[in-house]
Amino acid sequence: MRALRFHDLRHTAANLMIDRGVDLVTVSKILGHKDMKTTMLYLHVLPNKVADTAAIFSVGPRALESHFSDRPRSVVR
């Protein structure tokens, strides 16, 4: 079993912050990165966030149906 390094904890902390919605600029400042490119290495965490956000703003028929199903239907004449 490999020994846990301090860098491993920093990496985990960065991943957890990004996963919970902390913006990259804030993560960069907390980690003390001088170059934003270093923080950008953590972007591999974001694909799930992109999919989650896309699902929230999905406008497919089922999304609309579930959104409006609890509202009373108005009658248009």
pLDDT at position 19 is 82
pLDDT at position 65 is 56
- Write down the pTM of the prediction: 0.56
Residue pLDDT, tens place only, 13-49 = 998 898 888 888 999 999 999 998 888 888 776 766 6
Distance CA 45, CA 19 (A): 7
pLDDT at position 33 is 92
Q: What is the mean pLDDT of the chain?
A: 77
pLDDT at position 57 is 76
Distance CA 19, CA 48 (A): 8
Residues 39/31, Cβ–Cβ less than 8 Å: yes
Write the secondary structure of the chain as one string of H (helix), E (strand) and C (coil).
Answer: CCCCCHHHHHHHHHHHHHHCCCCHHHHHHHHCCCCHHHHHHHHHHHHHHHHHHHHHCCCCHHHHHHHHCCCCCCCCC
